Structure 1
Amino acid sequence: MTHPAPAPMGRRLLAYLVDQVAVVACGGGLLLGAVLPVVRATAAGTPTGTADPVADPTTLLLGWGMLGALAIFQWWAQGSRGWTVGKYLLNLRIVDVRSGRPVGMRRIFVRGLVVAAGTLVLGVGQLVVLASPLWDRSGRNRGWHDRSAGDEVVDLRTGTLPSPRPQARRATGSASQRRAVVAGPAATTVTVVPTGAVPRGAAARGTDEQRRDEPLRREVLRRDARADTAAATEAARGAAARRLDALLSDRRTGGPALVMPPFAEPGVAPDVDTRALAVVQPATFGLDPELEQTRYAPLRPDERAAPGVDPTTADVELSDGQVVTVKRSLLVGRNPGDDDDSQVVRVDDPGRSVSKTHLQIGLDAAGVWVADRGSTNGTIVTLADGAQIVCGPGQRVRLPAGSTVSFGDCGLRVVRAPQVGARP
């Protein structure tokens, strides 16, 4: 499923104009027709002895009633369906920025209050609020009213939205039958034998046997707990291995060389503050203390650098198939700047999920590292053992050979790392 891209400002403006036409058609025209003659007569001056012109009360009441009905309908449609009349006709939807579903009537009310508050500023502030998506630096075309309600306007021509949440089905049958289902099966009848019916010697022997068997029972419980923990750990490792195989699979169908499945069910490219995210699974690169004195074995022939390959550089493969040799600092993004004499790699991202300068890859004596440059959608590193690390802004994360980096809808993989200590 491809999530819709942000709605362009031209279509949003056209949808707004269609909504204003609907306002004029549903009551606004009646109000204008009743008030304009009075305004004109007042401006021309009332002849002496003639009563002041008054608008027809019935026309005013009918006009205001139709406008109120339209406002309530638009409120309900935006909160529960994500559209107004204009947005419905132009295939636009107002959805939650994270889940992609309608935001509800309460948040739509907050959104409308921000737009209405703009009219208090010289009468034209509402237009400034409606034009505020033009100044959104994230590329999602979210205005001040969108941010206040946590929503965004998307274009259904570019993708599909998630299906609505399934509603719970009401249980059929009578009330007594539903209570029986909730309560579960009837309790088993237990016959209690009086204490006096059991010989004292038998009761004492039973107590002694239970006391002797208590350590054995506890040991069995601890062994079962350790077995359950080991099974859960093995299942997690198997899932990580399967996911790593998918990430590092070879190209077989002519598609991209690197397949980057989502780490979770995607929304509609929300704004993520990576500083508030914790490390999913910490990764360490140090050796066990018992192995610190182990001598390094010489490199095998297949591990030695190929002739003509600079051991101080690294190779990374992007999700579109191109391989880039990292010789110095490398900036990756939709349109990164090159003002600091760094290598520049521009990625093709129609959905604008990648920031202009999203991440930086560098080399030092310890190998390759990656750092997020304060991007909107964040950067996640997946190591060869399946561990995942969320890169904070400006935080350097080591990239051993075989590591993958996911940023927005794109990704890259470290194909070859420099020899440790080769760089000065």
Structure 2
Amino acid sequence: MTTTPVQPRIAPVARRVGAFAIDLAVAAAVAGGVWAATGEPVLAGLALVQVAVALCVWESRTGLTVGNAACRIRTVRVEGPYAPGIRRGALRALVVGAGFLGAGLGQWVVVSSGVWDRRQLKQGWHDAVANTVMIDVARQPQPVQPWVQRPTQPQAPEQWVQPSPAAALQPVPQPGQQHVRLVHAPAQPAAATGAPEAPVEAPVPVAAATPPTRAAARAAAQTGQGAHLLSFDNGQSFTVVGAGLVGRSPQALPGAPDAQLLEIVDEDRSVSKTHLQFGVDEQGFWVSDLGSTNGTSVLTPHGEPLDVVVGVRVYVPADGSVRVGQRQFTARPAR
């Protein structure tokens, strides 16, 4: 069975324009408030610039702006579900900013220019220059199911995913994707296919937790996925099975009240209270940022940090690691 690549769901141009309008309204409201409070147009102009820069940096690091969040869209890299980064974000902003020189209307043409792109990605001019794309996450309340462009090399971390609430706790094995598993545990797939029914009949030791945890454990056993050891740079370590949450004081999410909660010691408070969600399925260990303050990055085996877009699952490559605020951890199959 071969795996057919699936393209990401592209954000409609109308929602992109709506998100841009919201961002402009926020910036104008701040500038207007400063002007009304001080009576100084220069200070109002400075406030407008500061808001624009803040929105640009926020979008570069997380794929979000106020408008993007309200319209349920994200800005990501073309090659994978990662935030654009400062360089690409600055390029996008420069192209949009140049549009303001066109009688104050050119920016609307730039933002809506995706309607003239006949390709599937429907990139606006600013996205084409920066090599980014805007995706639709309106019907993705919980992360997960693989999307686009699978990596040709096993170690490559770029893996598009599309959320599916059920997949978080009960992954279903797909024989055609077993080659992905070989990167993490070469010997386990054969054992899983040799006796697929045994884990269902035999009691699972970790099942003493809660119903969702038991389901995750059974599904992990069926797909050859066992427990994972999460080792943090502050000396903490956790053995986990299935889905869970990481944070300074994590709280269970709606729909998953029994998820494993990993409380991280972080004196610098760089880790948000509920920072990220994690899980294991037939493709490996994944993480998804939950709108944290300082963001989440997946580090490749070569140490290249790739910012994780809020609400999108990203698989951690073999020998890779995850940066959570100023903390960092590795995830390895438990032996």
TM-score, with length taken from structure 2: 0.38
> Larger C-alpha radius of gyration, 1 or 2?
1
Q: Which has the higher contact order (CA 8 A, sep 6+)?
A: 2
